Amino acid sequence: MPGIMILHPGREKSLLRKHPWIFSKGVMEVKEPPENGGDITVRDSAGNFLATASYSPESQIRGRIWSFDPDEKIDTAFFERRIRKAWENRQALIERTAVSAVRVIDAESDFLPGLIIDRYNGILVVKILSAGTEYHLQHIRSALEKIFPDDVIYERSDEAVRKKEGLSERKGILRGELPPQPITISENAGMKILVDVVNGHKTGFYLDQRDNRAALEKYCRGRDVLNCFSYTGGFSLYALRGRAKSVVNVDVSGPALAIAKENVVLNHLDPGRCRFVRADVFEYLRKSRDEKKKFDVIVLDPPKFAESQSQLQKACRGYKDINMLAASLLNPGGILMTYSCSGHMTPDLFQKVVADALLDAGREGQIIEYLTQAGDHPVALPFPEGLYLKGLVVKVS
């Protein structure tokens, strides 16, 4: 029998709206607590059944909902049903855009809290981020073996957030044998991209920016483009395919820039129009301003500046800083394509930060496109926190 978690009066409301989290302050009592990550029955203060959740005694998020159905057992069949459904939902995207790499499971937004699965060709890269998914790892693995009988399964649970759940970092093979890295994936009408699933960031690549990389192409013809936080050069490939005059890639990571260079050659694009600069973007932008460098198109795709609500103010200063500097480097009529992937930064706030940045730079701007994460990174309606990627295309006069 699983343990029982009883919520304070009124704390059942978010669960009745199918929100998947229970915060520690909402919990009145835990009877017969299971081990870290084990299943627990959640009841309201009157004793009514609310959900079956996983129990995270060390985390602020004390429970994550597996199911709102009192009869649903959390076993291999459960994971198989949810993963199959999510995989079916990806088929239209795969057929439409001929991508060979997709996010199969996007955690809460695919009704599997704490689980991320990206599939690169036939390699499933799995991230186990919560005590609950750790507890059920064997079930998840068995479900994946049934749905993807020929796939290699590689685990990348090397994320610091696991500490909040009382878990240490880990990575390694779960099934089969990895081909030599990097492998080649394709997206958006035949663009080839090298991905190292072992040593690359996250699961190897930023699949969430797929549509937005393609959106850049149309702005670049004959233009001088600056791609800040370029990683393996994703945006730059589209700039080059869109016949940019020149493209500068800036990133702190040497290995990422080395792959960026290879990606240009792999796609038969002109490396002569490309530069690869290993630098801190903040410093690079400041130096470029002092040297009076100019660009026509600038992409800013920084890492998450705010990991928590308490870091938001500092993050805003960082976002404002890079956007102000970038605006000051743009020729009149230039394009600023700017992103924030911090979930704590709301779309409204991000727009305000960018507006303030342009104001400080003494430039006027108009938003001509609103961008967000690709469709294989959905947002479950009861879970607005699932929206994290915001992008603005600003025409700067």
Contacts with ligand SAH by CB under 6 A lie at: 201, 206, 209, 213, 229-232, 234-235, 251-253, 256, 280-282, 301, 303
From the CB of 209, what's the least distance to ligand SAH, in Å? 4
End-to-end CA gap in the chain: 65
CB of 18 to ligand SAH, least distance (A): 32
Crossing angle for the helix pair 254-266 and 234-241, to the nearest 10 degrees:
30
Cβ–Cβ < 8 Å for 200, 206: no
Write down the least CB distance from residue 205 to ligand SAH, Å.
6
Cis peptide before 182 (omega within 30 of 0): yes
Q: What are phi and psi of 324, to 5 degrees?
A: -65, -45
Measured from the CB atom, the residue of 66 and 206 that comes closer to ligand SAH is 206
Cβ atoms within 10 Å, residue 158: 13
**Which residue, 132 or 234, has its beta carbon nearer to ligand SAH?**
234
Q: Which is nearer to ligand SAH, 35 or 280 (CB)?
A: 280
The dihedral formed by the CA atoms of 17, 18, 24 and 27, expressed in degrees to the nearest 10: 70
What letter represents residue 277's amino acid?
V
Find the shortest distance in angstroms from Cβ 250 to ligand SAH. Answer: 6
Q: Which is nearer to ligand SAH, 172 or 303 (CB)?
A: 303
Q: Say if CB 299 and CB 227 are below 8 A apart.
A: yes
Phi, psi values for residue 116, rounded to 5°: -120, 130
CB-wise, 26 or 234, nearer to ligand SAH? 234
CB of 178 to ligand SAH, least distance (A): 21
Catalytic residue ranges: 341
Residue number with CB closer to ligand SAH (232 or 373): 232
Beta carbon nearer to ligand SAH, 112 or 389: 389
- For 122-140, b/e burial (b = at least 16 CB within 10 A) is ebbbbbbbbbbbbbbbebb
